[in-house]
Amino acid sequence: MSLEIRKIVTAIDETFIEGGKAAEKPLKMIAVAAVVKNPWAGEFYEDMQPVIRAHAPQLGERLVAELAKHTDLDAVEAYGKAAAVGMNGEVEHASGFIHTLRFGNKYREAVGGTSYLAFTNKRGGPGCVISIPMMHKEDEGQRSHYLTHEFTVGDAPGPDEILVAIGAATAGRPHARTGNRYQDMEEMKAERESAGLVDA
């Protein structure tokens, strides 16, 4: 059984000014989505693995190839993924294609990432909001790259479809200044030590 792709959709957002101040490095966020026929729609399949193994790698490769049309893959700093299943499917169907290393590793390897891919998976109808949370491809604690790219596809997902997407960002948030996870950890450790709550 081949995986039927009805359409490929790309959503690009570029930010040049944030908070009234020009970004030192403009932020470009790109989402690439495939709208595919849901191979499990309308029935309960106990074993979804045969379809996942057959099609998740090819879907990952196709989306990465589409992403490469819109940015140099080496320029990707943050990434994520998302899937939405139509109303005749289960959320498990949306999860099936994106929650497998056979899909995720295609993207990670293409951009040199080591972090896990942040994600959303949901059920929704045509035009539902697709949210792709992102984080730095190599450093989960780098808060400057905690981003969300949202978009809609007016006619997808249909009742018997799944929308599968990957997201990329070429920079962190303009003027990021909330620190990072490691800074918090060091400060909180110092605070506990000064309060005598831990051994120095």
State pLDDT tens for residues 101-158: 999 999 999 999 999 999 999 999 999 999 999 999 999 989 999 999 999 999 999 9
With contact defined as beta carbons under 8 Å apart, do 128 and 156 qualify?
no
Is 187 part of a structural domain of the chain?
no
Q: With 90 as the cut, is the pLDDT of residue 177 above it?
A: no
Q: Give every CB contact of residue 186 below 8 A, 6+ residues apart in sequence.
A: none
Is 196 part of a structural domain of the chain?
no
Give the relative orientation of helices 91-98 and 101-111 as an angle to the nearest 10 degrees: 40
- Here the CATH number for the domain that contains residue 111 is 3.30.1330.110
Q: Give the C-alpha separation, 36 to 151, whole Å.
A: 17
Is 194 part of a structural domain of the chain?
no
Is 135 part of a structural domain of the chain?
yes
pLDDT in tens, 2-27: 789 999 999 999 999 999 999 999 99
Q: Which domain holds residue 165?
A: 5-174
What percentage of the chain reaches a pLDDT higher than 90?
A: 86
Per DSSP, the three-state class of 176 is: coil
Q: pTM of the predicted model, to two decimals?
A: 0.91
What's residue 191's pLDDT? 81
What percentage of the chain reaches a pLDDT higher than 70?
A: 98
What's residue 199's pLDDT? 58
End-to-end Cα separation, the chain, in angstroms: 62
What's residue 33's pLDDT? 98
Q: Give the C-alpha separation, 15 to 144, whole Å.
A: 15
Q: Quote the mean pLDDT of the chain.
A: 94
Q: Give every CB contact of residue 72 below 8 A, 6+ residues apart in sequence.
A: none
With contact defined as beta carbons under 8 Å apart, do 37 and 167 qualify?
no
Q: Give the C-alpha separation, 4 to 118, whole Å.
A: 26
Q: Give every CB contact of residue 194 below 8 A, 6+ residues apart in sequence.
A: none
∠ CA 47-52-55, nearest 5°, is: 145
Is 80 part of a structural domain of the chain?
yes
Domain count, the chain: 1
Is 192 part of a structural domain of the chain?
no
What's residue 182's pLDDT? 78
